[in-house]
């Protein structure tokens, strides 16, 4: 999800009739570029004063994907030149329901050069009633001539307080501490925060936490059992090891006196981390990481897990 500043600005401009004909909307994958463009479409097609009102027929039709004056190409796969030509043909027709037509091109950065050049003609002499949005992850994949003809809207990730609001909505039972941890990890991406808080992730983290407790307390039998007995599939073990590297990284932060770190509140684990040397934690993190890489490169899962058990125990004694 993107942060809402750009949308607020666009809506204000739409209310005052100050919108341009062509926009390039860029931002990371999954940030919600299409949603953003559709919100802009609502602001442009809304018939009420307070655009977008959300209630008028225009607003509702855009929301339910039924507005005849909103046309999207490149939705399933990158638009071909034929799709672009169809869009241009439509741009010279009169709008159906309103006084404006909205065109949205998804994955515009992946358009072939001939497609981009065809669009350029539309940009140069846009029909009065047309607004076009090109959506792309990276501006650099668009032709400089296209870039120079369109206004840029860059979508940033959500801000921490916006993510916190959403998380409290989705997980009212969560404590502030858990929300803050999820926000730290999310770095502006709501999806990452939600994934972090999912039951599955929590279970994986718990497994990693156990591994670390066993390793730091040198319980070799328990450690080997925890790594081998569940008969993990490759990607399951890799997921646990990923959490283990995160955990070790946070443990190192604590040891080095970094003010902000995210370790579970388990008194046992905190005591063990306090007692461990920085060298041991670093070495364990390295072993977990190398094992994860080996798994990605098709190493035998049982062999990799056994090797890791030995390495973690030897690292813990440092």
Residues near Zn ion, by CB under 5 A: 46, 48, 53, 56, 59
**Phi and psi torsions of 158, nearest 5°:** -70, 155
HEC profile for 13-40?
A: HHHCCCCCCEEEEECCCCCCHHHHHHHH
Name which of 27 and 58 has its Cβ closer to Zn ion: 58
Name which of 60 and 253 has its Cβ closer to Zn ion: 60
Rounded to a whole number of angstroms, the minimum distance from the CB of residue 47 to Zn ion is 6
Name which of 11 and 116 has its Cβ closer to Zn ion: 11
Rounded to a whole number of angstroms, the minimum distance from the CB of residue 55 to Zn ion is 6
Name which of 46 and 304 has its Cβ closer to Zn ion: 46
Helix crossing, 190-197 with 160-170: angle to 10°? Answer: 40
Rounded to a whole number of angstroms, the minimum distance from the CB of residue 15 to Zn ion is 11
Residue 72 to residue 70: CA distance in whole angstroms:
7
Rounded to a whole number of angstroms, the minimum distance from the CB of residue 20 to Zn ion is 21
Rounded to a whole number of angstroms, the minimum distance from the CB of residue 90 to Zn ion is 23
Residue 83 to residue 105: CA distance in whole angstroms:
10
Rounded to a whole number of angstroms, the minimum distance from the CB of residue 59 to Zn ion is 3
Residues belonging to the chain? 318
Name which of 96 and 298 has its Cβ closer to Zn ion: 96
- DSSP one-letter string for 46-66: --SSSSS-SSSHHHHHHHTT-
Q: Taking Cα atoms as reference points, which of 231, 267, 263, 221 lies closest to residue 244? A: 263
Q: Taking Cα atoms as reference points, which of 263, 256, 259 lies closest to residue 213? A: 263
């Amino acid at each position: 999800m993107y942060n809402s500043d750009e949308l607020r600005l666009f809506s204000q401009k739409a209310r005052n009739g100050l919108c341009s004909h062509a926009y390039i909307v860029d931002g990371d994958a999954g940030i919600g570029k299409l949603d953003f463009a559709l919100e802009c479409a609502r602001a442009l097609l809304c018939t009420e004063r307070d655009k977008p009102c959300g209630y008028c027929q225009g607003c509702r039709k855009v929301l339910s994907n039924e507005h005849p004056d909103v046309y999207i190409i490149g939705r399933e796969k990158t638009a071909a030149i034929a799709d672009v030509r169809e869009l241009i043909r439509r741009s010279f027709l009169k709008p159906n329901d309103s006084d404006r037509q909205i065109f949205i091109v998804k994955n515009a950065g992946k358009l072939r050069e001939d497609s981009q050049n065809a669009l350029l003609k539309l940009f140069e002499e846009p029909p009065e009633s047309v607004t076009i949005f090109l959506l792309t992850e990276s501006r650099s994949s668009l032709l400089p001539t296209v870039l120079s003809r369109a206004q840029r809207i860059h979508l940033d990730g959500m801000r921490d307080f916006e993510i916190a609001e959403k998380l409290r909505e989705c997980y009212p039972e969560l404590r502030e501490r858990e929300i803050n941890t999820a926000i730290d990890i999310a770095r502006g991406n709501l999806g990452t925060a939600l994934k972090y808080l999912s039951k599955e992730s929590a279970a994986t983290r718990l497994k990693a936490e156990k591994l670390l407790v066993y390793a730091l307390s040198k319980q070799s039998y328990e450690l080997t059992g925890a790594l081998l007995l569940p008969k993990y599939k490759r990607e399951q073990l890799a997921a646990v090891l990923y959490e283990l590297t995160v955990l070790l990284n946070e443990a190192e932060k604590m040891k080095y006196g970094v003010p902000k770190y995210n370790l579970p509140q388990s008194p046992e684990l905190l005591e063990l981390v306090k007692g461990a040397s920085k060298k041991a934690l670093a070495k364990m993190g390295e072993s977990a990481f190398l094992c994860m890489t080996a798994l990605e490169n098709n190493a035998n899962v049982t062999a990799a897990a056994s090797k890791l058990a030995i390495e973690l125990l030897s690292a813990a004694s440092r």
